[in-house]
Amino acid sequence: MRAVVQRVSSASVSVNGEVVGQIGKGLAVLVGIGAGDEAPDVEYITAKLVGLRVFEDEADKMNLSVGDVKGALLLVPNFTLYGDCRKGRRPSFTAAAPPERARELFDDLAAAASARVSEVATGVFGAHMTVSIANDGPVTILIDSKREF
């Protein structure tokens, strides 16, 4: 499982021009589910998102988590995080999980995050979405449950 995590002052996701999820201060997370991902990958990513210390403390050091600042999470499913561009110019997505399994694991991630963070919003799995992000910093972190990067 892969996540592109951005610290935001606000973020939203829309489908057909209608906002389906939005947050204020927190983390906007693009989530890719890989073909071999299972429950431990969900737990790894959840723990990282909840514990990631990317918010400034009173000394202006990144030392606080999303929970510490009473922030929110916006989780957006994004299979293209498993796009492989090493050959040619057209990405291959064979490393992404099949849609049914990816949806199940994405829902598990949203549920696990909701149990640990007071506000969690999501995009719509399988929909064409427009994501608006006000990246704060900018701060962008990459997380991979298989620790490939």
The residue segments making up the domain with residue 13 are 2-144
Residue 6 lies in a domain: yes
The owner of tokens 């403390």 is 57
Residue 80 lies in a domain: yes
Report the domain count for the chain: 1
Residue 133 lies in a domain: yes
Residue 149 lies in a domain: no
DSSP calls for 48-100:
HHHH---EE-TTS-EEE-TTTTT-EEEEEE-GGGG-B-SSSSS-B-TTBPPHH
The CATH number given to whatever domain includes residue 25 is: 3.50.80.10
pLDDT at 23: 98
Q: Residues 36, 42, 46, CA angle at the centre, nearest 5°?
A: 150
Residue 42: DSSP 8-state: H
Please give the average pLDDT of every successive group of 10 residues along the chain, which has 149 residues.
98 98 98 98 98 98 98 98 95 97 98 97 97 98 94
pLDDT at 121: 98
pLDDT at 149: 82
Report pTM: 0.96
